[in-house]
Chain A
Amino acid sequence: MANLNTGDTAWLLVCCSLVLLMTPGLAFFYGGMVRRKNILSTLTLSYVFMALIGVQWLLFGYSLSFGKDIGGIIGGLNYLGFMNVGAAPNPEYSSSIPHQLFATYQMMFAVITPALITGAFVERIRFKSFLLFGIIWATLVYDPLCHWVWGAGGWLREMGVLDFAGGTVVHVAAGCSALAFAMVIGPRKGFGHMPLEPHSIPYTVLGAGLLWVGWFGFNGGSALAANGVAVNALLATNTSGAAAGLVWMLLSWLDGRPSTLGLVTGMVVGLAAVTPASGFVSPMAALVIGAVAAPISYYTIRFREQRGLDESLDVFACHGMASTWGMIATGLFATTAVNPGGANGLFHGNPSQLGVQILATVVTMVFSFGVTYVVAKALDMSIGLKVGLHEEEVGLDISGHGERAYS
């Protein structure tokens, strides 16, 4: 307790709240893009993780992720029910804030990550199958991955991978899982034949704004201290979101009009891209990361549309691809001048870092895609992933929840 720093502790308490707010932000970001008959369903898909993971993480999720290492693969059961997770710091993660605060801050990441995936299957998912998928995914994909990359003794962490705030663990994993799930569940009725229009772009704009604010806690808090690295992470985050928003707006302008939906999508893409890099690269590098991320995700959406895949809200393009680039860019731009606790990247004389970054990203892609595909397929063949055609036509608000959003 001697080392406990009240400044660090206060900042992380704030960051906990900021990251929590991202899940409602995401819910409205997604909710605006679906048709009005599915808005409550879409909000629920995100919000339910605040409840589900709020319990799972306390009971065993945290322990599997950050418990005593077993072979570099998974955490042990020594933190079940937050046992031994108290006010004293855990020096393996941070020696200046209470261990319980670290564990709770991490909970907020565990909450939003599966919520990101829901964009892949909105407007047609069977709620019961979704709940099962959510708890299985959190336990079989998120918790191990979190341990590999961030847990003391995790094998990717031991190899020296740099993932400041969850480029692989959160965004690449969610994006690739979204892709796999979309392939299993299949398209919405009418997909490709008629426009499935967003019913409230203002909701999406508001959601994107909340996400940006929350992202300061997501990336800024990942320094686990109120220090220079936190400030750099916050500024890099802001810069990348800004650059990607501008570039996306220009791309959509060249294709017709500077769309509002395009601008805010670009912003979120920039924020996702810089997530793994934010505490390791300079703000100027973040500018490049954001500017390059926008066309990558923009044209991934085009490609996805041409292939006729209904990955409905483009989680793979906007999170998976953006953060894949972000992971690679970390291997290029990282410098110990920004963060002495990090490493140098290719441009600072350390090409091997790039190799580690690519390895960790590919491993995450294969692992998250593979497990999600198998789990989704198993659920599809047993209880079914998709609602019946009539339920889909009526809309999930009425057919699934017995409610209507706007009376």
Chain B
Amino acid sequence: MLKKIEAIIREDKLNDVKDALNEIGIRGMNVCEIRGQGRQGGITLAGRSGTYQVDMLTKMQMNIILSEDNVDETIEAILRGGHTGAAGDGLIFVYPVDEAVRIRTGERGHEAVMYPGDIDEKKGRGSAKAS
């Protein structure tokens, strides 16, 4: 079965997280810039005269689709790359994916989101075939 991992991470940790994911063989991903608020609260910015508080902070949202067998290893990689220990490190969500289709080839399911030599291909996709 396919899963979607949605990780909200620090803007400045994007490269570290990406490197950690590449190391375990994850090739396909996309990211977008988002803004939000959470336990980190706001930050103080310098204005014209003194400072002001901003409570919506820029974060990166990273989306990865892969086999459920490799979800745990992926989460560990994100933790390795994105952890600082301070409030604001972010959150990881995992969702089930009903279907995936590659527009160029028409491939469906796992075939659509696999890359040569990536983690799903190397480590198998166990239950994937059943889905």
Binding site for B on A (CB under 8 A): 195, 197, 251-252, 255-259, 261-262, 265, 298-299, 301-302, 305, 314
Contact = CB atoms under 8 A, between A and B. Distances in A.
A261 B46 contact: yes
A393 to B, nearest CB: 17
Contact of B50 (A197, A255, A258): A255
A257 B52 CA distance: 12
Question: Mostly helix, strand, loop or mixed at chain B's interface?
Answer: strand
A256 B46 contact: yes
Interface residues of B, number: 11
B99 to A, nearest CB: 33
Given A257-B51, A265-B48, 10 more contacts: A195-B53, A197-B45, A255-B46, A255-B49, A256-B51, A257-B46, A259-B47, A265-B49, A298-B49, A299-B49
A195 B49 contact: no
A287 B48 CA distance: 22
Interface string B39-73: 00000111111111110000000000000000000
Interface of B: 44-54
A256 B50 contact: yes
A328 B115 CA distance: 74
A356 to B, nearest CB: 32
Contacts of B44: 256
Contacts of A259: 46-48
B48 A302 contact: no
Nearest to A195: B52
Contacts of B54: 195, 197
Contact of B46 (A262, A299, A302, A305): A262
A330 to B, nearest CB: 25
Contacts of B50: 252, 255-256, 302
